[in-house]
Amino acid sequence: MLKTLTFALLLASAAPAFAQTAPVASAVAKAPQYEHCIMVLMSAYYGGSNIILEFGQDAKGAPANPELIQADVAIRKLRSVVLALNYMSSQGWECISVNTLAGDGGDTGYLLRRAK
């Protein structure tokens, strides 16, 4: 009787191990993909007198991005960093970091991203 009970307990504890399977590769969620740009305030003054977008447009062989070219034109007309950030937010961009950029001008870079 003791052997039967021990065998039954052993089977009961081993059964869940057989039921577990590794996740299927297609079921594993992929990490979100983002595109990035930097909104650069070209002065230490936050009045927004000179704001531009850097999205790799000057890199050799960089593909044209009409949407970001249009956004660059729009934010250059704005006279406030807050207005520029609000505009970019309305286009689906989120600010994930703010840093002072290297150089003498005290430029500030706002790193923006949005899901592709």
Given this model, what pLDDT does residue 106 score? 78
Rounded distance, CA 65 to CA 54, Å? 12
Task: Give the residue among 51, 58, 38 at the shortest CA–CA distance from 84.
Answer: 51
Given this model, what pLDDT does residue 19 score? 54
Neighbours of 100 (CB within 10 A): 12
pLDDT tens-digit series, residues 60-102? 988 889 999 999 999 999 888 899 999 999 999 999 999 988 7
- Residue 98: beta bridge partners? 110
Rounded distance, CA 76 to CA 87, Å? 11
Which domains are present in the chain?
Answer: 34-115 (3.30.1410)
